[in-house]
Structure 1
């Protein structure tokens, strides 16, 4: 199933509650069931060049998505890391970088919100929270967003995984 992230399907129901503009930035409800989170982690670990471990920029309990050979632009990474393009929190939501052309459509469709740190001029405005997928349909969108973030961080224009 191909998902057009420039015109994504709307996320069903109300947006989850989050900490809003507070740091740490967290999702407070509407978490992923364990099997959905596990599938998302497996998807991330299957991407070429990705390795996982504790985050360098978030709670150690979050699973960092890092690259052996980062090649993307500055805005493709969660700073101050030079190779972490995202991380998955225990409840299933992600913080990751998203290509600029996808931010508005994903936000309007109810999938993401900006990370408060992206409001600071020394941080990229590409850092977002992708809400935790709750079912298989939402997992498909989360996988597509994850792959778009990975492509940006690897400077890849292909879907090779």
Structure 2
């Protein structure tokens, strides 16, 4: 399914409950089924130049999405890492950097929320919690956001 992140469809149901805190900024319900999370991880690992492992900036159990050759701007990475553009938590939600033009549409349509740490001036305002995809349609949207994040992290002009 082709997803336009400028005008994403509305996410069904109510928003998941989150801690709303800087650390930990966790999703507390509406998790991904194991097969959906596995498909998300597989798609992330297929992106050119991506390698995975324990996160450098989050709990070690989250799966970091890192680049062998990061080329994107400062706002494309989860600091203090210089190559981690996102990570997938065990329950399926993601923290990742998202191109600025997509953050408001995704938030308004109920797909995620800005990370509270972005209120600090030393952090980029591109960091978002993307809620855990619950089914195949939501997985398509999550993959589209993941690809936009990857594109931003690999493209110095993004």
What TM-score does the superposition give when structure 1 sets the normalisation length? 0.96
Q: 2:71 matched to which residue of 1?
A: 71
Task: Tell me if the contact between 2:22 and 2:115 (Cα under 8 Å) persists in the aligned partners.
Answer: no
SS at match of 2:105: helix
| Counterparts of 2:93 and 2:9, CA distance in 1 | 18
SS at match of 1:66: strand
Q: 2:110 matched to which residue of 1?
A: 110
Deviation at 1:23, TM superposition (A): 1.2
Distance 1:85 1:15, change over 3 A: same
Instruction: Give the gaps of 5 or more residues in structure 2.
Output: none
| Counterparts of 2:36 and 2:133, CA distance in 1 | 7
Runs of 4+ in 1 over 4 A off after TM superposition: none
The root-mean-square deviation of aligned C-alpha atoms, in Å, is 1.0
| Counterparts of 1:42 and 1:62, CA distance in 2 | 15
SS at match of 1:87: strand
Q: 1:101 matched to which residue of 2?
A: 101
Q: 2:37 matched to which residue of 1?
A: 37
Count residues with an aligned counterpart.
157
Q: 2:89 matched to which residue of 1?
A: 89
Mean alpha-carbon deviation: is it higher for 20-29 or for 41-50? 20-29
Deviation at 1:21, TM superposition (A): 2.8
